[in-house]
């Protein structure tokens, strides 16, 4: 039995999901029994979904033997459990951002998802979010999605999120089951970076693995925005864990490895900063 | 040199300039017009969302094959949002450095390896 207990957005929780993967990754044509107890943060559905998908790709069957009632309600509302044979439930509070499994080529579909889940549906639930912040949040989410499209060589991209109106927060998670930062960077440069070093390199401005074309701006811009917004970003790629917020930068290694990359973003929705004041640029002085 | 306008929304069939693939379409149109000795206005009218990934492919990679002075002389932008301007400027500045100093990335890898 694989029991996941108290899963939120901490290093320890990611470690629990990685351990579940490591325990079961050699199995073929087997049954994998899972229990979800006490608490499970809605946006972690993307992480768990990616791991369970890797296991079902080896013809294993997933059984949720027990899900605590509170968790079950959340995971029915955000559609996660509809992928595992449970009935969908209506989210009357309109605070979920649905679990979604997309192909990297589903860019147009992702656009509709973002419009429906982040922009249109939640207007009533989020009167305090200024237009400027909303735009920056959506931009950040796009940058991450496009990164997964371009860099990860993944088969699917998993996304999920949650609004917390009382805490003025939004969490959004994008997961792929692709190559990971370390392998990608080391292949490109013939280097031997660790997973943590690879993530730290990738979040630095102007660093890119693309050949013949500049880049490396998306993650750097995201980091700057996270700092101004007093939000938080986490990147989990293979054995590497990296967390950044306005106060702290934390990096650690996991025991075992996540089979891809997770980018988890937390933003404050009550941020009234004007992000453009300092940046007036003459349109004739761009090139 | 005659002037032409490239309307991005029309070129990519979308008001979201987000995917690198769509940026490539715009890039190829610009190259074609440059090769035909045209001056270009790149119109961002009705564009609602931009990513740096899109702008890197659409505009950034021009600096690989064309000198800065030529691009400055031949390319203008119109109807771009304030946030779009900020992103585009950053993409352009990054591209200029990238093609001037191709070894910079390798150096940054060495630096982080020593950490």
CA distance B29 to chain A (A): 17
Cα dist from B77 to A247, B34, B84, B88, whole Å: 38, 15, 11, 10
CA distance B96 to chain A (A): 9
Structure tokens at B4: 């032409």
- DSSP one-letter string for A217-231: -HHHHHHHHHHHHT-
Question: Which residue in B53, B75, B83 is closest to A135 by CB distance?
Answer: B83
pLDDT of the residue at B94: 96
pLDDT of the residue at A126: 58
Q: How many residues does the structure list for chain B?
A: 115
Question: Which residue in A189, A221, A287 is closest to B52 by CB distance?
Answer: A221
Structure tokens at B33: 């017009």
* Interatomic CA distance for residues B22 and A240, integer angstroms: 32
Among chain B residues, the shortest Cα distance to A186 is held by B109
B37 and B1 Cβ atoms separated by less than 8 Å? yes
* Interatomic CA distance for residues A282 and B42, integer angstroms: 15
Please answer yes or no on whether B19 and A147 come within 8 Å at the CB atom: no
pLDDT tens for residues B49-95? 999 999 999 999 999 999 999 999 999 999 999 889 999 999 999 99
* Interatomic CA distance for residues A159 and A53, integer angstroms: 13
Question: Which residue in B20, B99, B115 is closest to A150 by CB distance?
Answer: B20
3-state per-residue secondary structure call for chain B = CEEEEEEHHHHHCCCEECCHHHHHHHHHHHHHHHHCCEEEEEECCCCCEECHHHHHHHHHCHHHHCCHHHHHHHEEEECCCHHHHHHHHHHHHHHHHHHHCCCHHHHHHHHHHHC
Question: Which residue in A107, A217, A284 is closest to B52 by CB distance?
Answer: A217
Among chain B residues, the shortest Cα distance to A206 is held by B94
DSSP state of A202: H
Structure tokens at B76: 């203008």
The pLDDT of residue A121 is above 80: no
Residues contacting residue A190 through CB under 8 Å, at least 6 positions apart: none
Q: Is A215 on the interface with B (CB under 8 A)?
A: yes
Q: Is A63 on the interface with B (CB under 8 A)?
A: no
CA distance A60 to chain B (A): 35
The candidate with the shortest Cα–Cα distance to A100, out of A130, A131, A145, A65, is A145
Please answer yes or no on whether A287 and B71 come within 8 Å at the CB atom: yes
Among chain A residues, the shortest Cα distance to B96 is held by A214
Please answer yes or no on whether A146 and B71 come within 8 Å at the CB atom: no
Average predicted confidence (pLDDT) for chain A: 91
Question: Which residue in A136, A214, A283 is closest to B94 by CB distance?
Answer: A214
pLDDT of the residue at A128: 67
3-state per-residue secondary structure call for A11-62 = HHHHHHHHHHHHHHCCCCCCEEEEEEEEEECHHHHHHHHHHHHHHHCCCCEE
User: A101-104 long-range contacts, Cβ below 8 Å, gap at least 24?
Assistant: A101/A49, A101/A53, A101/A156, A101/A157, A101/A158, A102/A156, A102/A157, A102/A158, A102/A159, A103/A155, A103/A156, A103/A157, A104/A148, A104/A149, A104/A152, A104/A154, A104/A155, A104/A156, A104/A157
Interface test mutation site (partner A, options B28, B64, B112, B115, max chain A beta carbons within 10 A):
B112
CA distance B66 to chain A (A): 12
Count Cβ–Cβ pairs < 8 Å, chain A vs chain B: 124
pLDDT tens for residues A46-85? 999 999 999 999 999 999 999 999 999 999 999 999 998 8
Q: Which residue has the higher pLDDT, A173 or A278?
A: A173
Please answer yes or no on whether A207 and B53 come within 8 Å at the CB atom: no
CA distance A65 to chain B (A): 41
CA distance B44 to chain A (A): 12
For range A156-172, the mean pLDDT:
92
The candidate with the shortest Cα–Cα distance to B61, out of B28, B89, B85, B35, is B28
For range A239-260, the mean pLDDT:
96
B-facing residues of A in 28-57 (CB < 8 A) are none
Tell me what percent of the residues of chain B surpass a pLDDT of 70.
99
Please answer yes or no on whether A149 and B109 come within 8 Å at the CB atom: no
pLDDT of the residue at A124: 56
Q: Which residue has the higher pLDDT, A69 or A118?
A: A69
Contacts of A221 in chain B (CB under 8 A): 52, 87, 90
For range A256-274, the mean pLDDT:
93
Phi, psi of A17 (to 5 degrees): -70, -40
User: A220-223 long-range contacts, Cβ below 8 Å, gap at least 24?
Assistant: A221/A140, A221/A143, A221/B52, A221/B87, A221/B90, A222/A140, A222/A143, A222/A144, A222/A265
The band of A279, judged by pLDDT with boundaries at 50, 70 and 90, is low
The pLDDT of residue A1 is above 70: yes
Question: Which residue in B18, B64, B92 is closest to A287 by CB distance?
Answer: B92
Residue A128 neighbours by CB distance under 10 Å: 12
CA distance A63 to chain B (A): 37
Question: Which residue in A221, A275, A286 is closest to B88 by CB distance?
Answer: A286
pLDDT of the residue at A118: 80
């Amino acid at each position: 039995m694989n029991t996941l207990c108290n899963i939120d957005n901490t290093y320890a929780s990611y470690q629990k999901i990685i351990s579940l993967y490591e325990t079961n990754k050699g199995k073929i044509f087997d049954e994998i029994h899972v229990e979800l107890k006490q608490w499970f943060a809605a946006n972690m559905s993307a992480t768990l979904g990616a791991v369970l998908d890797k296991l079902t790709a080896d013809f294993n069957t997933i059984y949720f033997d027990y899900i605590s009632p509170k968790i079950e309600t959340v995971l029915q509302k955000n559609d996660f459990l509809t992928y595992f044979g449970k009935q969908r439930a209506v989210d009357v509070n309109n605070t979920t951002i649905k679990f979604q499994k997309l192909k990297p080529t589903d860019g147009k579909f992702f656009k509709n998802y973002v419009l429906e889940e982040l922009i249109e549906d939640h207007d009533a639930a989020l009167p305090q979010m200024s237009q400027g912040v909303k735009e920056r949040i959506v931009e950040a989410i796009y940058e991450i999605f496009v990164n997964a499209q371009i860099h990860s060589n993944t088969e699917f991209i998993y996304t999920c999120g949650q609004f917390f109106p009382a805490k003025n927060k939004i969490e959004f998670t994008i997961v792929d089951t692709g190559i990971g930062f370390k392998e990608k960077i080391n292949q490109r440069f013939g280097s031997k970076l660790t997973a943590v070093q690879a993530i730290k390199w990738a979040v630095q401005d102007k660093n890119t693995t693309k050949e013949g074309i500049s880049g490396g701006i998306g993650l750097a811009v995201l980091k700057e925005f996270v700092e101004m917004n007093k939000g938080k970003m986490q990147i989990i790629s293979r054995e590497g864990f990296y967390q950044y917020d306005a106060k702290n930068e934390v990096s650690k290694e996991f025991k075992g490895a996540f089979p891809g990359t997770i980018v988890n973003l937390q933003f404050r929705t009550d941020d009234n900063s004007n992000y453009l004041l300092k940046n007036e640029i003459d349109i004739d002085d761009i090139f | 040199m005659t002037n032409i306008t490239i309307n991005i929304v029309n070129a990519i069939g979308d008001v979201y300039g987000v995917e690198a693939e769509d940026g490539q379409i715009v890039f190829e149109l610009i190259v074609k017009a440059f090769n035909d000795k045209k001056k270009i206005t790149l119109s961002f009218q009705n564009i609602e969302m931009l990513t740096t990934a899109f702008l890197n492919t659409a505009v950034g990679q021009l600096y690989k094959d064309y000198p800065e002075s030529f691009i400055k002389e031949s390319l203008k932008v119109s109807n771009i949002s304030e946030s779009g301007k900020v992103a585009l400027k950053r993409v352009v500045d990054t591209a200029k450095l990238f093609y001037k100093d191709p070894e910079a990335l390798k150096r940054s890898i060495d630096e982080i390896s020593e950490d």
